[in-house]
Structure 1
Amino acid sequence: MKAGFIGAGKAGCSLGRYLRDLRLKESAAADENSGAGRTFELSGFYSKTFEHSKEAADDTKSAAFSNFEQVISESDIIFITTPDRVIGEVWETIRKKGEQGELPVKGRIFCHLSGSLSSEVFRGRKELGAFGCAVHPMQAISSRDTDFSGTFFTADGDAEAVAAVKELLSQKGNPVSVIEPSCKKKYHMAASTASNLVVGLIQMALDALEECGFSQDTALAMLTPLIEGNVKNICEKGTAAALTGPVERGDAETVKVHLQQLTGERREIYRLLSRQLMGVARVKNETRDYSNLETLLEEKDQ
């Protein structure tokens, strides 16, 4: 199996580097068995900027292609790792060329790594005899050498394409779960909530500490053990067991004082999230009375 990439940004380069190691291990295994078994290798990269193609190719010991047609011709599985907004455009160009007999798309697998788009972006693939899959790592990709070791992946699409992706990633030790295309947007919202929105909450806490006279650096140092400990407890025990604080205790008076320190949207954020936490608290403490806290949090203005 040969895999190529259209797009040489952070996502494509990171996955290419990750699968590069798989190629070496697979090839070695094949040699030991006198050529028996399937092998895997990277065919190469195409980017609109050839220098980017060359950098990615050099980094993964693969080829730098001058056009995307070469990627498709030289690959069994093609990862379209462009920005989300142009994945559909790239596929439409490929589809039209395939319809006109200008590209050998039959039997090939086309994948993208978008968290919000499903495999349905590959419209018309079945008529061409091609297969489509959306595969997404549940991890922030912050650089061109992001390591996917232990990362959870989700996939949706044609059975043949999903099976191929599972084959690659399972040999790297990555769990892969199938998701319905109709759930992709909600799935991406969940990932963004856990990864991105929490950053806004931490910044809100940092700003409050800065108003108390601490520098941002000092405030972050103060909060770090709290943040790390909470995340560790959530991951090991679940949200209910990890929850502590005034909402968990049903301490309406303390929550009221907290609300009085806030105005505008910050106050509303605190109020609404406290209501969300109250649901978690009730799971943890089934017999505890939260009626006073519930009444407090129903009121927008205190």
Structure 2
Amino acid sequence: MAPRPEICIIGRGRLGGALALALRRAGFQTRAFGRPKNDREAARAAAALAQAGVVLLCVPDGAIAETARSHAERFHAGQVVAHCSGALDLSPLAPARAAHLGSLHPLCAVPSPRASLTGASAAVCGDTKASRALRRLARAAGMKPFDLPVEDRALYHAAAVLASNGLVGLAAQAADLLCRCGLEEHSALEALLPLMRSALCGLEANRLPGALTGPIARGDSEVVRAHLDALSSPADARTLVLYRALGAPLLALSQRLGRASPDQVRDIAAALARARSRGGRGR
């Protein structure tokens, strides 16, 4: 087995802290540094960078290039330097070109520096040596690495945003509708969270399209029309757009599922296409 490289993490925020914790638990000598407060801290960080076999830049996307520039003279041949952005290619690491360059992006939300990364997937890209080293670190941290072509990073990150930030946006829109039913926002979210968790559990257990439930899954066009009617006022224009946009992938899943008849699917598609705000009946 290859010797374990020393790890230096630049950035002590949520992701930097979580990676440092996971790698230390896995037996890697890992040092993490934030912004130096004095010359002594700067010297310690410089020494750790020079000694490290792998350097992970866990800083905001907009700070990666500047961080790489500020440490450029300390990066050296044989070393692996990687950022942890999901959206960026490797060009911000150009100042570290003496090293092997790569990227390691945990595909999960990291709510705190002590969050567990176990079970999460991790997107890896870079040259041969960087990718090999980063896959090893990902597995040691309990993650499941997969190779991501650098040219597909924007598409990959769009998928990640839809599945995470998009879920939060959906919760906000649904909570807003429940608030109009008389609930406070806190109570609305408390009511929705078990529903959302159960939907995710169903997705994990039954996959696609088996996890789909509800009126579009069973071809209930009358219920869909009632929803469209309820969202037809000008105040609901944004929610109506969202409901209609989500209708397309839900209809595609319903067709794969096969519970709704072709006529029912066409009826729902027509209702979604006709729906308009400003009091339209969606019929």
TM-score range, shorter chain: 0.7 to 0.9
**Who is 2:251 aligned against?**
278
**Residue identity opposite 1:298 in structure 2:** A
Q: How do 1:110-259 residues align onto structure 2 when only pairs under 5 Å count? A: 110-123=81-94, 125-126=96-97, 128=98, 130-259=99-228
SS in structure 1 opposite 2:267?
A: helix
**Who is 1:81 aligned against?**
58
Please give the alpha-carbon distance, in whole angstroms, between the structure 2 residues aligned to 1:283 and 1:72.
Answer: 52
Deviations 1:71-122 (A, max 9, x none): 3212111111111101012223444x3xxxxx35111110111111133432
SS in structure 1 opposite 2:125?
A: strand
Please give the alpha-carbon distance, in whole angstroms, between the structure 2 residues aligned to 1:230 and 1:249.
Answer: 16
Which of 13, 17, 29 is equivalent to 1:41? 29
Please give the alpha-carbon distance, in whole angstroms, between the structure 1 residues aligned to 2:101 and 2:50.
Answer: 17
Q: Which moved more, 1:171-180 or 1:72-81?
A: 171-180
SS in structure 2 opposite 1:177?
A: strand
Deviations 1:183-210 (A, max 9, x none): 1111111111111111111121111112
Please give the alpha-carbon distance, in whole angstroms, between the structure 1 residues aligned to 2:89 and 2:137.
Answer: 20
Please give the alpha-carbon distance, in whole angstroms, between the structure 1 residues aligned to 2:220 and 2:206.
Answer: 23
Q: Evaluate the alpha carbon distance shift between residue 219 and residue 47 of structure 1 in structure 2; reply closer, same or farther with a 3 A threshold.
A: closer
Maintained 8 Å contact 1:5/1:71: no
Maintained 8 Å contact 2:102/2:126: yes
SS in structure 2 opposite 1:214?
A: coil
Compute the TM-score of the two structures, normalised by the length of structure 1.
0.81
Shift, 1:299, TM fit: 2.3
Please give the alpha-carbon distance, in whole angstroms, between the structure 2 residues aligned to 1:72 and 1:284.
Answer: 53
**Residue identity opposite 1:184 in structure 2:** R
Over the aligned positions, Cα root-mean-square deviation in angstroms equals 2.3
**Residue identity opposite 2:180 in structure 1:** E
Deviations 1:202-226 (A, max 9, x none): 1211111121112333333332332
Which of 270, 274, 277 is equivalent to 1:299? 274
**Who is 2:12 aligned against?**
8
1:69 aligns with 2:69: no
In structure 2, runs of 5+ residues without a counterpart are 277-281
In structure 1, runs of 5+ residues without a counterpart are 24-39, 55-63, 98-102
Maintained 8 Å contact 1:138/1:191: yes
1:21 aligns with 2:9: no
Please give the alpha-carbon distance, in whole angstroms, between the structure 2 residues aligned to 1:269 and 1:81.
Answer: 34
Deviations 1:26-50 (A, max 9, x none): xxxxxxxxxxxxxx312x2332243
Maintained 8 Å contact 1:154/1:177: yes
Q: Evaluate the alpha carbon distance shift between residue 4 and residue 257 of structure 1 in structure 2; reply closer, same or farther with a 3 A threshold.
A: same
Please give the alpha-carbon distance, in whole angstroms, between the structure 2 residues aligned to 1:221 and 1:16.
Answer: 33
**Residue identity opposite 2:183 in structure 1:** F
SS in structure 1 opposite 2:164?
A: helix
SS in structure 1 opposite 2:243?
A: helix
Q: Evaluate the alpha carbon distance shift between residue 92 and residue 124 of structure 1 in structure 2; reply closer, same or farther with a 3 A threshold.
A: closer
